[in-house]
Structures are given as C-alpha cells and as structure tokens.
Amino acid sequence: MVRHFWALQGQPEKRVIIGREYGYHGSTILSASMGGMVDMHRQAANEPGFAHIKPPYGFLYQGNLSEPDFATTAASWLEDKIIEIGADKVAAFVAEPIQGAGGVIIPPAGYLNKVEAICRTHDILFIVDEVITGFGRTGHWFASTYYGLKPDMMALAKGLTSGYVPMSAVMVGDRVADKLIADGGEFYHGFTYSPHPVAAASPGKFKLKKKRGWGADDPGPYLAAAGPTANTRLLVKVEALDVWRRLNL
C-alpha cells in the first residue's frame, strides 16, 4: 500500500522501508524482512527494499547519556539512514511504539515524537505497529495516543478481537486514504480467510471490561509497586535478569 501510494504520487522510486533492529512485524518473508530479527534474516527473510537502524534500547546503547540526550541520539540514527539512502528513495519508517518480541524495549521520552518529526521533514510516511500495544495495554486505546503521535498508518491485531479469533487491520490516515480512493482504483490484496464472518463480527462486540474496579489506566500504580518485589524474587532465581521494564499493562 505504501509503495502504491508513492507511485500514485508520481514518485515510484520511493520504495525503501526503514525498520529497526529487534523489530517484529510478522513472519512471512516480506514482513520478516521489514522486521529486524536477525535469525529470520539468516533464514532468507532478507529481501531488498528494506533497511534497518538501531533501536532506542537503553540497556545496550544509552551508556552515560541522559534520557533526553539518548532520545536525540537514537532519533538521529533514523535521519542518518535517510540521508545515506536518499529521502527520494525512502517510502516509510515503521516502528512498534514499544518493541515487544524484541525485548519489551520502551523508548526514552520524546524519541517517538522526534522520529515522527524527522519523517515529516523528509516527506516519509510514519507507520506504527500497534499489534501488541493497541487496545488499552498502555492505559490508552493506542500507544500512539499515549505518546502523542499522529501516524500515517497503523497496524492492528491481537486485541482487536481480544485474541479470541484471528483478525488484523490497517488504519490509514487521510493523506494516504484520499489518494488511494481518488486515483488508486481497487486495492488488490487479501488472505485465504478474509473476511471470515466470525472474525469480522467480533470487533463490534469487543468491550474493555473492568476487573477489580480498574479502568484501563489504573493498574499502573499497582504493577509498579509489585514490580520491584517480583523482580527481586526473579533475580534470586535468574542471575542474568537485571532489568525490569513496564508501561502500564
């Protein structure tokens, strides 16, 4: 869809999609190529048209930098890669707000806003993968809301149906949607089981339920208080564990 959009814009050379190391966006050959899982790349999921930058992984890369300085440094890795490739060849940057499968990598404050601004400066689409973080898990319906982001596209799944049946979706912002509707004709895509009637019906029945009197954003203090105790117990049993990371649920 991203490449089709740029072709309709008269810029078919904008085809490269930049992802991040440790990023996960799926296991098929193109989605695995877009992600940054090294083992998947070794097994031939390393197609051309994708590039990767280091993630904002403080445990590995922050060193003695303050959080604001690390956010700026990590965001600069995206701009450096865009300049290396050429903004006229880069179609999009894709990121999980919190990298889940890669190790629950929570970015430093301000990082995501900085990379979004870099995308706007270079006229590159900003895609957010909310498959893990969507539907209340950060205390808001979407992590994009929590971080104050306005992505061009958003990938959804998992919580879309509370995990009861397989279902995924892509939310598309006005800029891309308007162009596709006006000039794109039919968008040819599909999967064997789409649209499965049970899956298609289930999101309409989805409700964010409250348990123990909590709303979506209320468990944070409880989990924050319980975290150090749980971490201490785990440290006794697992010597390699020395970091505790969480953002609400």
**Structure confidence at residue 210 (pLDDT):** 46
Kindly tell me the burial class for residue 195, based on how many C-beta atoms sit within 10 Å of its own C-beta (0-12, 13-18, 19 or more): exposed
| CB atoms near residue 162 (< 10 Å) | 16
> What residue spans define the domains of the chain?
2-208, 209-249
Could you please report the per-residue DSSP string of the chain? -HHHHHHHTT-TT--EEEEETT----SSHHHHHHS--HHHHHTT---TTEEEE----HHHHTTT--HHHHHHHHHHHHHHHHHHH-GGGEEEEEE-SSBTTTT-BPPPTTHHHHHHHHHHHTT-EEEEE-TTTTTTTTSSS-HHHHHT---SEEEE-GGGGTTSS---EEEE-HHHHHHHHHH--S-----TTTT-HHHHHHHHH-----STT--TTTHHHHHHHHHHHHHHHHHHH-TT------S--
Backbone dihedral angles phi then psi of residue 163, each to the nearest 5 degrees: 80, 5
pTM for the predicted model, two decimal places? 0.86
Residues of the chain whose pLDDT is less than 70? Answer: 202-244, 248-249
For residue 221 the two structure tokens come to: 């203090």
- How far apart are alpha carbons 186 and 46 in whole angstroms? 29
CATH code of the region 2-208: 3.40.640.10
Taken in order 180, 6, 150, 103, the sign of the CA dihedral is positive
pLDDT at res. 220: 60
Q: With beta carbons less than 8 A apart as the criterion, state whether 165 and 199 touch.
A: yes
Residue 171 forms beta bridges with which residues? 154
* Residue in 136, 82, 110, 123 with CA at minimum distance from that of residue 247: 136
| Separation between Cα atoms, residue 29 and residue 45, nearest integer Å | 5
What's the pLDDT at 138?
Answer: 84
